Structure 1
Amino acid sequence: MNAAGPAGGPPNHNRAARRAAYTTGARAALPFTVAIFAFGISFGVLAKGAGFSALAAGTMSGLVFVGSSQFAAVSVIINGGGWAAAAVAGTLLNLRYLVMGFAILPALRGGRARRAVESQLVIEESWAIASEADGRFDRVRLLSSGAVLWLGWVAGTALGAAGPFSAVDIHRYGLDAVSPVLFFLLLAPHLDTRRRQTAAGAAVVCALALTGLGAPDSAIALACLIALVWTWRAR
């Protein structure tokens, strides 16, 4: 007689369900992985300009796995800052993961060491893929999507740092536009109601207008304010 699985069903059924969930997470990550791979090339080129070897740049991407903080840290070094200042800049940009970590903690398993390893795969994209409508997170989708995204980021970094690319190529091939594309891919699935579409449209119009007037920082603040107001009104 076969013993029941963790969810009360046959072991074969549970294994099939887990495999299906891993496949779903990996497939959902593929569009983001293409963009992250290109973004990784940009970081690799920047790191090479800062004096990083391909091994050092790839190792940094594998251990940190957060594009914004890595760009900030390397930019500090390029502009003459020390390692301490670079570490502070990267850490400040990573503070948002404290909040994300508290939210996703119930989905992780095992002791502290295992949870630390699994949480390494938590970035905005894997977070969005793993999120459920009720506010919970699917651990299998988190791990499978995060692993695919991690491979794309590290591979892109290594190619940018070791390949023949230069800073000019980043603009020539439009790699500097990858970051906005990533956030659009994250936002697009949530624009499923007229209210959300209207909020997003208003934010875009205001942001473009203020950017055109030379106030990009104000554009970001106003776009966030519009999102907060629409979210509050929808409650």
Structure 2
Amino acid sequence: MHDKKQSFLGGMRVGAGLAAAGFVLAITFGATAREQGWSAVAAIVASILIFSGSAQFALLTALAGSSGLVPAFAAAMLINARFLPMGLAVGPSLSGGRFRRALQGQAVVDGSWVAAHLGGGRFDRWKMFGATIVQWPAWVAGTVVGVVAAPSMDLVKALGLDVVFPAFFLALLLDELRSARSALIAALLGGAVAAALLWWVPAGVALVGATIGALVGLRSRVPSAADEPEEARA
């Protein structure tokens, strides 16, 4: 029990920093949503249920491009699809039956997932719980501030809040590009497809089309004998 408590508290400490950044990002989301004509209730409910900055901003961007609800939701769903392999990876570290494990899986968010990773496919679920439990209310609270205060776009730009969104995606992209050469190829391919499609289709459709770059990730590399550890070759 002591170890669980320590892990949970450690996760909360990690999550506090993520929550602070998420709070600012959520203010930007709320303000932008109101600027685009969303109701306060719609924006807040979106943050409560979706709880994903990347997916929610993708939804905003697609709808702002007048691409319609279907491409907009498709873009958001494709971005959130990353949680499927993340959930499968953390699954063995969860406990209980299917319902309990599914409930625990709701704590799988980017920062918490990374913080809980122990290596070797193992995760500290209590640390993940602690990291997520402080981020969700901060995200919802930031959205409330954004939609209620509804700061003007001039104020958002003056405070630098308008760069939080692109900086958020840039940070995710740079981190991914360092992981593998295929990530760079996928990013370049996706960007090229999106740029080309923008000549003929709305932004939301172009965003969905850019996901063709992810096909690069389907290529599997078969390890050669030289890649195998010495113990396996012995």
Pair in the same fold by TM > 0.5: yes
Partner of 2:49: 63
Q: 1:181 and 1:31, CA in 2 relative to 1: closer, same or farther beyond 3 A?
A: farther
CA deviation profile, 1:179-221 (whole Å, cap 9, x unmatched): 5368759x99xxxxxxxxxx96xx9xxx9xxxxxxxx947xx9
Q: Aligned letter for 1:148? A: V
Q: Aligned letter for 1:98? A: L
Of stretches 173-182 and 63-72 in structure 1, the one that deviates more from structure 2 is 173-182
Q: 1:54 and 1:115, CA in 2 relative to 1: closer, same or farther beyond 3 A?
A: farther
Partner of 2:127: 141
Q: Distance in 1 between matches of 2:79 and 2:148?
A: 27
SS at match of 1:132: strand
- Answering whether residue 39 of structure 2 is matched by residue 53 of structure 1, we say yes
Q: Distance in 2 between matches of 1:118 and 1:33?
A: 19
Tell me if the contact between 1:32 and 1:182 (Cα under 8 Å) persists in the aligned partners.
Answer: no
Tell me if the contact between 1:35 and 1:181 (Cα under 8 Å) persists in the aligned partners.
Answer: no
CA deviation profile, 1:80-127 (whole Å, cap 9, x unmatched): 233222211111111222211111111222333333332222111111
Partner of 2:21: 35
Tell me if the contact between 2:43 and 2:143 (Cα under 8 Å) persists in the aligned partners.
Answer: yes
Gaps of 5+ in 2: 185-189, 193-212, 214-226, 229-234
Q: Distance in 2 between matches of 1:36 and 1:55?
A: 19
Q: Distance in 1 between matches of 2:19 and 2:170?
A: 13
Q: TM-score, normalised by structure 1?
A: 0.69
Q: Distance in 1 between matches of 2:65 and 2:170?
A: 27
- Answering whether residue 73 of structure 2 is matched by residue 87 of structure 1, we say yes
SS at match of 1:81: coil
Tell me if the contact between 1:121 and 1:150 (Cα under 8 Å) persists in the aligned partners.
Answer: no
Q: TM-score, normalised by structure 2?
A: 0.69
Q: 1:182 and 1:132, CA in 2 relative to 1: closer, same or farther beyond 3 A?
A: farther
Tell me if the contact between 2:12 and 2:127 (Cα under 8 Å) persists in the aligned partners.
Answer: yes
Q: 1:183 and 1:120, CA in 2 relative to 1: closer, same or farther beyond 3 A?
A: farther
Q: 1:147 and 1:76, CA in 2 relative to 1: closer, same or farther beyond 3 A?
A: same
Choose the corresponding residue for 1:123, options 109, 115, 132. 109
Q: 1:57 and 1:181, CA in 2 relative to 1: closer, same or farther beyond 3 A?
A: closer
